[in-house]
Structure 1
């Protein structure tokens, strides 16, 4: 045993073990494809030489056009993470712009390899497509104004019935707000733009919108918007894939896990900073926490 341990230490000192590990992870796309089932999309994508991702272009911070007309956003970053995992090149991805209604049909007709388009995971949808592991947990949050005396959740709660909260009109809108602000005056409006406009015009003290929207706007316009510090109603976002291809689903899940929790996290961490304005999650060696 002593000889075995000593030999392993010597290998580490010489760099041979690390070199062998790097060589193993540098397998070519052709070699990797040979390990996938003959009918797996993983083999098809590797042979094709690029990934095809269905996504949107009109909903920051998830998918939108930047100042140069290029697609950007958290969903776009997740697509580039997959391309990097497939080809060691995050540029080897084609984004197909599509409406939200096309997400599931484009998966099942094979128009795209995967959909990454802020799709909420649900049991009903999971009967139609396969989902990846979640890559984000969305929720309702409160957007406020930094110059308001009701800027924080505690202040809104203390205000009781004098607190005015705008929210997009739907059957659960009033109940959703009253979960956290039971006495608030709830204003249901016909569009997300009008929900935020009510806050801008001071007709509302807070706008109940997606947590990601709160992060995005308060990062981009800190003089105009603030995060009240309250979120609720968790909803999971996952990538959508065609059912019946375990090799492809396992690859996507592994790549997302490594980006979110592991060591290949440059693209993910950069996107978290750029689009949410928050620090990336801390990763510590030892027992997993997910």
Structure 2
């Protein structure tokens, strides 16, 4: 009977261990607080208002989520390069920070259903003669380190004959464009517009679209209950129009009908 008793004891211990283990959703709800990683240096998705309080489309999305779930927010500062590490090292519970859904990222984190979109473009001064990839030959193209633009352009730089120049965050990319240190950038439409706003005498514009990206909430892998609850929340707030209203407030247009329908 000894082997049988041993097997039963091992099974009981395993069951007790599983019962005692609280997953991340349980931890969040028990603490009544959610740690959200958001970059507040990339207007209009994230920025500081006149009272030095965070605002922007991603910030308001995060606030809406916390309000619906009855939670307080602990903001976890991030840049483009630290969003995923913040998740996988346990610094943040979720990421809401213009996080584009890509196959490479999906190998190391999970994504919720898309809650917004991002148009990725090549931008340059308005008087620059740039219409397509061929016009970038011999030029330096500035990106934010760790972004989708960094990944995508780095893979094609040799073939297209341009050089990728990396800055640590979007704010320094905007500053580089406004001061003339950057001749071309690969980023979002919103950041190209920021460059123009910082130096109206030398306006910039999007030259051509790289691609449109779905933006989703990032979650550490292995948290299926949290991911399912996020998906339910995104679906409900796309249906009731709140996510589209938030997007329109900061970008001037609502989300595509393909998302809200």
Aligned to 1:269: 245
The 1-side partners of 2:92 and 2:55 are apart by 18
User: Greater relative contact order: 1 or 2 (C-alpha under 8 angstroms, separation 6 or more)?
Assistant: 2
TM-score under structure 1 length normalisation? 0.58
Larger of the two Rg values belongs to structure: 1
Partner of 2:96: 116
Kindly indicate whether residue 232 of structure 2 is the aligned counterpart of residue 254 of structure 1. Answer: yes
Task: Give 1:195 shift.
Answer: 7.6
Q: Does 1:231 align with 2:209?
A: yes
Change (3 A) 1:221 1:280: farther
Structure 1 residue 54 and structure 2 residue 37: aligned? yes
Aligned residues: 230
- 2:191 match: 213
Structure 2 residue matching 1:230: 3-state secondary structure = strand
The answer to whether the 8 Å contact 1:80/1:93 transfers is yes
Q: Return the offset for 1:53.
A: 0.9
1:31-42 aligned at under 5 Å gives the runs 39-42=22-25
Could you tell me which of 138, 141, 155 is aligned with 1:167?
141
1:81–1:268 contact (8 Å) kept in structure 2: no
| Matched residue, 2:120 | 140
Superposition pairs of residues 100-115 of structure 1, within 5 angstroms: 100=80, 102-115=82-95
Q: Structure 2 CA distance, aligned partners of 1:162 and 1:288?
A: 33
Contact 1:51 1:94 in 2 (8 A): yes
Q: 280, 284, 289: which is aligned to 2:254?
A: 280
Offset of 1:271 from its aligned partner?
4.2
Structure 2 residues not aligned, in runs of 5+ = 1-20, 144-149
| Cα displacement (A) at 1:264 | 4.6
How many angstroms apart in 2 are the aligned matches of 1:101 and 1:149?
Answer: 31
Is contact 1:136–1:238 with CA below 8 Å preserved after alignment? yes
TM-score, with length taken from structure 2: 0.64
